[in-house]
Amino acid sequence: MAFKDFPSQASGVALLQRSLARRRLGHGYLFFGPQLDELEALARTLAQTLNCQQPVTTGGVAVDCCDACPSCRQIAGQTHADVHWVRPESKLRVILVDQVRELMREIQLKPTAAEYKVAVIVGADRLQTSAANAFLKTLEEPPPKSILILLSTEPGRILETILSRCLRLNFAGDGARKWDAALLDWLARFSELAGAPQKSLLGRYRLMDVLAGRLAEMRERVEAELTARSPLEKYDDVEKDLRERWEAELKAAIEAEYRRQRSDVLLLVQWWLRDVWLHTLAGGREFLQFPQLAGAGQVAGRLTTAQALENLQVVEHTQRLLYTNVQEALALEVGLLKLQL
C-alpha cells in the first residue's frame, strides 16, 4: 500500500509526508490508533517510501512509495534485510528483553540493501519493563540512517520514558468513529434481549450466550484473516528457526488482535449502558449514542441513576481485569451477573 491508499488517515499521513519533503523526519515515532493492522500498514508504507527504488517525489525528495519495485515488494512481504519487525511472541504475549537486544544488534549494523534501516515494534505497550529500559539507549542515540517506529492501540500503557523520546502521530482516523455494521446488528440483539423482563438467572445466561457467541465468531475470523496474511502462507521453504519465529508471532498477533476486538465489543456495551444511564437523567436523552435501540430505555425504566452509573463501573472494571491473565469466561460471567438490568 502507498500513502495515497489511506484516505481516512489524511491528517497523519500529511504530517509524515511534510516531514519527508522537508528532510526532517524524526528518528523515533509512535503511531497510535484503534486498528493495529492499519498502524502496521502505515509503518510498512513509511519503510517502503524510505527505501523505494521508484518513489513519488516532491522537490526531488521521496514522499510516497511505488508499492511495486523489488524493495517495496520485499518490505511488504517482510523479507527485506534492512526492515525489522518485533512482535509479542511469548506465552504471556509480551515483548521480551532478548527480542529487543537482538533488534538493537540488527539496527546498529549498516544497511545491506537499502538507504535506511527501519525497526518496527508492534504492540509497544506489551514491552516488558526490562525490554523497554533496554530499548531506551537505542531510542536516545539511534545510529545514522535508521528509523524506529513503535505501534500501539494503548499508548497510555507505554512507559513515559519511551513516550517522551518519540514523535507521536495519532491515526484514530478523520471524523467520528464508525462502528462496524455487523457489530451494531449484534448490539441490537443484545439490547432487545436485555430490555426484556429479567425475571430469572436464565435471562442473564442468555445474554452471556449472545456475548460468548459473538466473541467466538470474532476469534475464528481473526485467526483466519491473520493466518491468510502470514508469511507462513507465502513461503514454504524457510529455515526452521524462521518458521518457528513466524509461528510464534502469528499466535501472538492473533491473540493481540482478538483482545483488541474484544475490547471494542465491551466498549460498545459500555456505550449502550451509557445510554441507559442517560435515560435515567432528566434531559439526557438528546445525547444518546444509539437512540434507535429501545432496550436501553426499557432497562432504564427499572433502574435508578445510581444503579445505571454502577453498571458503567462494572464494565470498566471487567475491561481492566481482561488486561491481566484472568480467565476470560469467568471474568465476563462475573461482570455480566453484577450488571443491574
pLDDT one-digit tens code per residue, 97-154: 999 999 999 998 888 888 899 999 998 988 988 999 989 988 988 888 899 999 998 8
Q: Look at residue 299 and tell me if it is in a domain.
A: yes
161 and 310 housed in the same domain: no
Residues 224 and 320 in one domain: yes
pLDDT class of 192 with cuts at 50, 70, 90: very high
* Mean pLDDT for the stretch of residues 221-235: 85
Mark whether 317 and 191 lie in a shared domain: yes
Instruction: Please give the model's pTM, rounded to 2 decimal places.
Output: 0.65
* Cell of residue 203, nine digits: 435471562
Residue 15 lies in a domain: yes
pLDDT recorded at residue 177: 58
Would you state the pLDDT for residue 92? 61
List the beta strands (DSSP E) in 12-136: 28-32, 56-58, 61-64, 83-86, 117-122
Q: What is the mean pLDDT of the chain?
A: 87
Domains in the chain, number: 2
The answer on 65 and 20 residing in a single domain is yes
pLDDT at 282 over 90: no
pLDDT at 111: 85
Clarify whether residues 73 and 39 are in a common domain.
Answer: yes
Using alpha carbons, select from 148, 142, 150 the residue that is nearest to residue 108: 142
In terms of pLDDT, which residue wins out, 205 or 49? 49
Domain CATH code at residue 44: 3.40.50.300
Lowest mean pLDDT across 174-178, 288-292, 316-320:
174-178
Q: Does 115 lie in the same domain as 80?
A: yes
Same domain membership, residue 148 and residue 45: yes
Sheet strands (E) in 99-154: 117-122, 146-152
What single letter denotes the amino acid at residue 30?
L
What is residue 167's predicted lDDT score, i.e. its pLDDT? 92
Tell me the pLDDT tens digit for each residue of 22-31. 988 889 999 9
Inside any domain, residue 176: no
Name 100's Cβ contacts closer than 8 Å, sequence gap at least 6.
86, 127, 131, 132, 134, 135
Residue 247 has pLDDT above 80, yes or no: yes
CA-to-CA separations, 264 to 74, 164, 187, 198, 206, in angstroms, rounded: 33, 28, 12, 25, 21
Domain boundary among 111, 137, 170: 170
Q: Which domain range does residue 281 map to? A: 181-338
166 and 185: one domain? no
